[in-house]
Amino acid sequence: MKAGVFWENLRISFKAIKSNRVRAILTICIIAFGIMALVGILTAIDAIKSSLTTQFTMMGANSFTIRSRNMSVQTGESRKRVRNYSRITYHEAMQFKEIFTEPAWVSVSFNATQLSTVKYETEETNPNVSLTGVDENYLAVSGFEIENGRNFSPDEIRMNRRLVILGSDIASDLFPSGTDPVGKDVTVAGLKLQVAGVLKSKGSSVGSGDRICLMPVTTARQYFSRPNMNFSITIMPMNPVNLDAMAGEAESVFRTVRNLDPRDESDFRIVKSDSILNMLLKNIRYVTLAATLIGIVTLFGAAVGLMNIMLVSVTERTREIGIRKAVGAKPRTIKYQFLYESIIIGQLGGIFGIILGVIIGNAVSTMLRSSFVVPWFWVFTGIVVCFLVGVVSGYAPAVKAANVDPIEALRYE
């Protein structure tokens, strides 16, 4: 097709869209809604993925934890021997820490309570503060940082000192006037402790990392003792190493600590820090699939609506088609005119939908305090999909217009 005919067809297509603006706008809005749902949800999902990756990196991505697991005994031919209870005792955790010789930080911790209240003079928090007993290596392996004050020393851990490190939200609640919390005495779950430091805020991190209190594991073990206390051991390499190899070495050492026979199954589990992230990202795939299906269904409805509008347009402009054919327009020229009109409507809907989708998706990103995200793959996919919608919806009406008999068209009222 010659360039002059091409631009003339585009001009006529825009003129036709303008003359039927109400129907065109409605169709553009339907297409835009489908693309907006697709791009918006997927942009939000990319923002969530970015936020999760960032937060888990802050929590120590290159680490793994030895935890207890529910004791499982199988009977029959496939029976597996399990000797120990699933819980990890304090003495086992400390023994492992002493004999594990790999260049790594080893931290022993346990959850004292999840529902503690922290008081300072007349100020008091809600009973939703997590209190964790930790050692001097906990900050290194967990990704926490001290903003004000200091960490616990090994001597303070060993001497059962009554100290506490406050999360940033807790410090803000108890000291709203800007008073320095370090050195002040606070009451945590009924126990009077001196503030050694305040943690740097993690913002919207996983697990409400700003509403916690840390105290020496020995002190927590003394004052929050309960039957079958269960401890966790977190290991983080000091240098870049093969994490799987170090995890295998740690499993071997802890099997020795637990006095397991070579025939015994390990009655504990090793959880890598990125395994939870991978699990969450895997589950997000189902949300991505659902969003894609929603967008496809909406676009299918938009395609049907667009085809209906183009068929109505062909009927209404039958006399115009007859006049154009009478003055020499070829059927192919007529066909391309209506096909271009359909494609233009599809592209306009796609452009508006992409803009709205990126805006809505990044509104979620802003709430998550994540960076601005533009899902370029889905942007280009949306443009291609809208082009296909325009072609598929406009082809049948364009062929119908091209096959109109000029004699009958001129007589059409």
**What pLDDT digit, counting tens, does each position of 250-307 carry?**
999 999 998 888 887 888 888 877 666 666 667 777 777 877 787 778 778 778 877 8
Q: Is the pLDDT of residue 57 over 80?
A: no
For residue 5, the model assigns a pLDDT of 65
Residue 241 token pair: 């190493």
pLDDT tens per residue, range 148-184: 999 999 999 999 999 999 998 899 888 887 788 899 9
More confident residue, 6 or 379: 379
pLDDT on residue 278:
67
Each residue's pLDDT tens digit, 363-396 = 877 776 666 777 788 788 888 888 888 888 888 8
**Per-residue model confidence (pLDDT) at position 85:** 56
Name the residue with higher pLDDT: 43 or 411. 43
- Residue 53 is predicted with a pLDDT of 65
Weakest-pLDDT range from 64-78, 123-137, 176-190:
64-78
> Which H or E run contains 309?
helix 273-316
63 or 240: which leads in pLDDT = 63
User: Do 149 and 165 form a contact (C-beta atoms < 8 A)?
Assistant: yes
Distance (Å) of CA 105 to CA 15, 98, 219, 233, 245:
71, 11, 21, 10, 16
| 127: confidence class by pLDDT, cuts 50, 70, 90 | confident
CB of 66 within 8 A of CB of 88? yes
Which are the contacts of 106, defined by CB distance < 8 A and separation ≥ 6? 96, 97, 100, 137, 233, 234, 235
H helices of 59-167, where? 90-99, 138-142, 154-158
Locate the domains of the chain by residue range: 3-56+278-410, 70-266
104 vs 58, residue with greater confidence: 104
Helix (H) or strand (E) segment spanning residue 3: helix 3-19
Mean pLDDT of the chain: 80
Among 2-6, 14-18, 136-140, where is mean pLDDT lowest?
2-6
What CA–CA distance (Å, rounded) separates 377 from 346?
19
> Mean pLDDT throughout 190-196?
91
pLDDT of residue 61: 55
pLDDT (average), residues 204-217 = 75
List the structure tokens of 352.
């508006």
Q: What is the pLDDT of residue 364?
A: 75
What are the beta bridge partners of residue 119?
A: 124, 187
Of all residues in the chain, what percent carry a pLDDT higher than 70? 85
Q: Using the predicted structure, report yes or no on whether residue 361 has a pLDDT greater than 90.
A: no
* pLDDT at residue 263, as a whole number: 81
Q: How many whole angstroms separate alpha carbon 404 and alpha carbon 135?
A: 85
